[in-house]
């Protein structure tokens, strides 16, 4: 059964936008290095790109935009860079949250919060609480997120239900696992974009990406904008999504 927020069918030859676009925002450091600038400048310009892409996604009719902002593995980066990234997060929430709310954008955070500093945790909670009733676009921020950790967490939750006698092992199926993921209220992505030319998922939405279309673009994230998003969506429309079935030619 399709998710209620799944992309509508094409109407009168006009291709509907993918309901859910997910983006691995890669290349801030390389963008800065190619210009002889410090990495922090690349991250700062990356925030500007995010601001533009969120606006563009809403204009193009995308209902869900998920961005991979900080992975659970990113804590291994130098302390100075992590401090810069946390500072940018704070400024983004403080400076952009009001505009997101005004434009009817709902913010949803996925990732572990238990080990975050109280001020960061409070900012994430504030963003979700303020925008929880908005409905034009849902901006899903994967922060301190790792897909393997998410799946392991779901497995633990199901194991606990079995231990309490609430669930039989034979009842565990794909739907039960999906219902215990951090994205349980979000449709799976239709399109996953990774910038900067790298071609891997890097522990991002491993379960949810089962039938997503992947587009890898050479553009570094700070240079990614509405035109690049439109080009990726145009490429998405050229794909025939079969979800494990046959294509039209094979069925004929």
8 Å CB contact between 58 and 134 = no
Catalytic one of 26, 84, 188, 190: 26
Rounded CA-CA distance 105/99 in Å is 9
8 Å CB contact between 189 and 213 = no
According to DSSP, the residues that pair with 192 across neighbouring strands are 22, 214
With left for phi above 0 and alpha for psi between -120 and 50, is residue 197 left, alpha or beta? left
- Tell me whether residue 84 is one of the annotated catalytic residues: no
- Tell me whether residue 74 is one of the annotated catalytic residues: yes
8 Å CB contact between 29 and 74 = no
Rounded CA-CA distance 83/219 in Å is 26
Catalytic one of 52, 74, 103, 180: 74
Residues classed as catalytic: 26, 74
């Amino acid at each position: 059964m399709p998710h209620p927020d799944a992309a509508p069918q094409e109407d009168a030859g006009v291709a509907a936008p993918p309901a859910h676009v997910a983006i691995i925002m890669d290349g801030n450091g390389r963008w800065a290095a190619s210009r002889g600038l410090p990495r922090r400048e690349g991250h700062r310009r990356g925030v500007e790109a995010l601001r533009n892409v969120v606006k563009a996604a809403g204009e193009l009719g995308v209902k869900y935009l998920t961005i991979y902002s900080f992975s659970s593995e990113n804590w291994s980066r130098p302390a100075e860079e992590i401090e810069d990234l946390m500072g940018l997060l704070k400024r983004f929430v403080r400076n952009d949250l009001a505009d997101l709310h005004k434009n009817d954008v709902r913010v949803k955070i996925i990732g572990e919060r238990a080990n975050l500093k109280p001020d960061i945790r409070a900012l994430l909670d504030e963003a979700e609480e303020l925008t929880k009733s908005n409905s034009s676009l849902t901006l899903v921020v994967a922060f301190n997120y790792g897909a393997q950790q998410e799946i392991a967490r779901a497995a633990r939750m199901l194991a606990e239900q079995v231990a309490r006698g609430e669930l039989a092992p034979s009842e565990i199926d794909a739907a039960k696992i999906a219902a215990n993921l951090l994205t349980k209220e979000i449709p799976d992505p239709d399109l996953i974009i990774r910038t900067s030319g790298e071609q891997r998922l890097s522990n991002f939405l491993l379960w949810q990406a089962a039938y997503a279309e992947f587009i890898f673009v050479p553009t570094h994230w700070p240079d990614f904008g509405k035109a690049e998003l439109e080009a990726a969506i145009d490429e998405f429309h050229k794909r025939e999504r079969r979800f494990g079935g046959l294509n039209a030619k094979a069925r004929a």
